[in-house]
Structure 1
Amino acid sequence: MTPPARPTDTLLAHGLGGSEYLPVPLTAVLIGCAWALTISFAIIAFAWRTPRYGRPDAGRELPRWVTRTVDNHWVRGVISGLAVVLTAWLVVAAFGPETDENPLPGAFYVLLWVGMTVLSALLGPVWRLLSPVRTVLRLAQGIAGPRVVGLTDYPRRLGWWPAALGLVAFVWLELASPDPGSVASVRIWLICYLVITLAGGVVFGLRWTERADPFAVYSTVASRLSPFARDREGRVIVRSPMNSLTTLPVLPGTVTVLAILLGSTAFDSFSAIPLWQDLVADGAGDSQVIATLYSTAGLLVFIGVVAVTFWTAARAVGGVQPDLRRRLPGLMAHSLVPIVIGYILAHYLQSLVEQGQETVLALGDPLGRGWNVLWLSDAHPVYVMSDHPTVTVTLKVAFVLGGHLLGVAAAHDASLRLLPRKHQLTGQLTMMVTMVFYTFLGLYLLFGG
Structure 2
Amino acid sequence: MVQSLAWLVASVFVVDTVAAANGLTLSKGPRDTLAIPRWLYLTTGGATIGASALLASFVTDRTFVRDVHSWSRALPTVEQWWEPMTWLTRGLGVGALALAVYLGFTGPELPTASFPILLAFTGLRAGLPIATYLVGNAWPLLNPWRTIATVLPAGFREYPRWLHRWPAVAGLLALVWAEVIFPVSTVPSTLATGIVLYSTMTIAGALLFGPASWFDNADPLSVLFGLYGAVAPIQRHNGTLRVTPPGSGLRNSDVVSDTSDVAFIVALIWELTYSGFITTSAGATAIESLVGIAPFEVVNVETRAIAVYTLLFLCGYAVFLCAYWYAGRVSRRSTDTYVTVRTIGFRFAPPLLAIAAGYHLAHYAGLFVSLSPALATALAAPLSPPANPSVLSVPSWFEGLSIAAVLVGHLLSIWVTHAVAYDVFSSRLVAIRSQYPFVAVMIGYTMISLWILSLPGATPPYLP
Does TM-score exceed 0.5, indicating one fold?
A: yes
CA distance in 1, matches of 2:266, 2:67: 23
* Amino acid of the structure 1 residue aligned with 2:353: V
CA distance in 2, matches of 1:364, 1:238: 31
CA apart distance, 1:364? 6.6
CA distance in 2, matches of 1:55, 1:364: 42
CA distance in 1, matches of 2:291, 2:367: 29
Per-residue CA deviations over 1:263-322 (Å, capped at 9, x if unaligned) read 111111111233432343355465211101111111112222221111211231234566
Checking the alignment, whether the CA contact within 8 Å between 1:26 and 1:448 is kept in structure 2 is: no
CA distance in 1, matches of 2:436, 2:122: 37
Bigger drift between 298-307 and 395-404 goes to: 298-307
* 1:68 paired residue among 74, 79, 83: 79
Checking the alignment, whether the CA contact within 8 Å between 1:262 and 1:303 is kept in structure 2 is: no
**1:143 aligns to what?**
none
Secondary structure of the 1:47 match is coil
Checking the alignment, whether the CA contact within 8 Å between 2:282 and 2:455 is kept in structure 1 is: no
The 5 Å alignment of 1:296-307 reads 296-307=310-321
* 1:162 paired residue among 167, 173, 181: 167
CA distance in 2, matches of 1:63, 1:191: 39
Instruction: Say if 2:145 is the partner of 1:133.
Output: yes
Q: 1:402 to 1:249 in 2, by over 3 A?
A: same
**1:326 aligns to what?**
342
Checking the alignment, whether the CA contact within 8 Å between 2:354 and 2:413 is kept in structure 1 is: yes
Per-residue CA deviations over 1:45-91 (Å, capped at 9, x if unaligned) read 12334272499964222233xx325x721111111111111111111
CA distance in 2, matches of 1:159, 1:127: 21
The 5 Å alignment of 1:102-121 reads 102-121=114-133
> Which sections of structure 1, spanning at least 5 residues, go unmatched?
1-6, 141-147
CA distance in 1, matches of 2:67, 2:360: 25
Secondary structure of the 2:401 match is helix
Percentage of identical aligned residues: 23
Secondary structure of the 2:159 match is coil
* 2:386 paired residue among 377, 390, 412: 377
Secondary structure of the 2:235 match is strand
**1:259 aligns to what?**
266
Instruction: Say if 2:24 is the partner of 1:10.
Output: yes
**2:351 aligns to what?**
335
* 2:366 paired residue among 347, 350, 353: 350
Cα RMSD (Å) of the superposition?
Answer: 2.7
CA apart distance, 1:407? 0.8
Q: 1:8 to 1:435 in 2, by over 3 A?
A: closer
- Normalised by the length of structure 1, the TM-score is 0.85
CA distance in 1, matches of 2:283, 2:79: 53
Bigger drift between 405-414 and 118-127 goes to: 118-127
**2:93 aligns to what?**
83
CA distance in 2, matches of 1:281, 1:437: 26
The 5 Å alignment of 1:90-101 reads 90-96=100-106, 99-100=109-110, 101=113
* Amino acid of the structure 1 residue aligned with 2:73: R
* Amino acid of the structure 2 residue aligned with 1:325: V
> Which sections of structure 2, spanning at least 5 residues, go unmatched?
1-20, 293-299, 457-464
**1:145 aligns to what?**
none
CA apart distance, 1:125? 2.3
Checking the alignment, whether the CA contact within 8 Å between 1:137 and 1:149 is kept in structure 2 is: yes
Bigger drift between 23-32 and 285-294 goes to: 23-32
CA distance in 1, matches of 2:74, 2:349: 27
* Amino acid of the structure 2 residue aligned with 1:293: A
CA apart distance, 1:17? 5.8
Bigger drift between 276-285 and 299-308 goes to: 276-285
Instruction: Say if 2:55 is the partner of 1:43.
Output: yes
Secondary structure of the 2:390 match is coil
